Structure formats: structure tokens, C-alpha cells
Structure 1
Amino acid sequence: MGEAMDMLADSDRELLALTLWEGLDPGEIATVLGCSRNAVRIRLHRARKRFAKALEKTRPSAAGFASRPLIEKESG
């Protein structure tokens, strides 16, 4: 995962860090960065997409992992 983070722009890493490690919501991030809450939501969405692509490049075997259910439903 570190390799994928290294592939991102500084601004994307900053947004993801503020969300994931600092636990800030978009409103709090907007205050920190001096922009609107909506701008943060859009930028965060784009950063997550870029991170997913970077992760796919570093871990091709995990590419479809997020789309698969964690628990298989029993048929019955």
C-alpha cells in the first residue's frame, strides 16, 4: 500500500491522510485547507479513484478484491 501512496500527488496523499489517519470529515478538512466542503468531497473522490488505480498497478492480484463480497452467502 505504501508503494501506491508514493505514486500519488502530494495533494492526494494529504487528503487521504487527513481522512484516514487524522479522522477528519470533509468539513474539517475544508477548514484546514481553506476551501469549500464540496471541493473537498470532489477532490477526495478523485484521490480515492487515483489511489485505487495506483494500488492496482502495485498489486495486480488484488485488482478485483474490492468488488468481491467478503463473505459468501449460503444458498439455501
Structure 2
Amino acid sequence: MVAAILFSAKAIVAKMIYRYQVDAVTLTAFWTIFALPFFFAIAYWKAKVAQPLAWSDRWQIFALGILSIELP
């Protein structure tokens, strides 16, 4: 429920920010920089709890991220 509320709030905040003549690239950079610490915290937590990935899986995930290809 919290995730749905925050996801909805993102669009509202973006519309409010566009009033101040902020371009889309700057806004995207802002969202990315703001979210990065959360992703690092989640990755750190999951690294302690879950089994490590095999190197072949890591390279596949890296390649998919670079190429932006979705798995079928």
C-alpha cells in the first residue's frame, strides 16, 4: 500500500516540479540520484541474506541492463 501511494505521488511531484521550468533530463537525474541510496541499501541487505549470484548470471544481468532487453 505504501508503494502504491509513493508511486502515485511521484507523478504529482513531477507535475509540480515542471512548473519551475525543469527539463526532463534534469528531473530524471534527480529521481535517479534520490533513488540510488535506497537501491544500494536493498542490495546490501539482500547480499547478506540471499545466496550470491553465479558469475554467468551477473554477466547476463549486466548485458541485459546495458542493452535494455527484456527476457521473454
- TM normalised by structure 1 equals 0.38
- TM normalised by structure 2 equals 0.39
Compare CA radii of gyration and give the structure with the larger one.
2
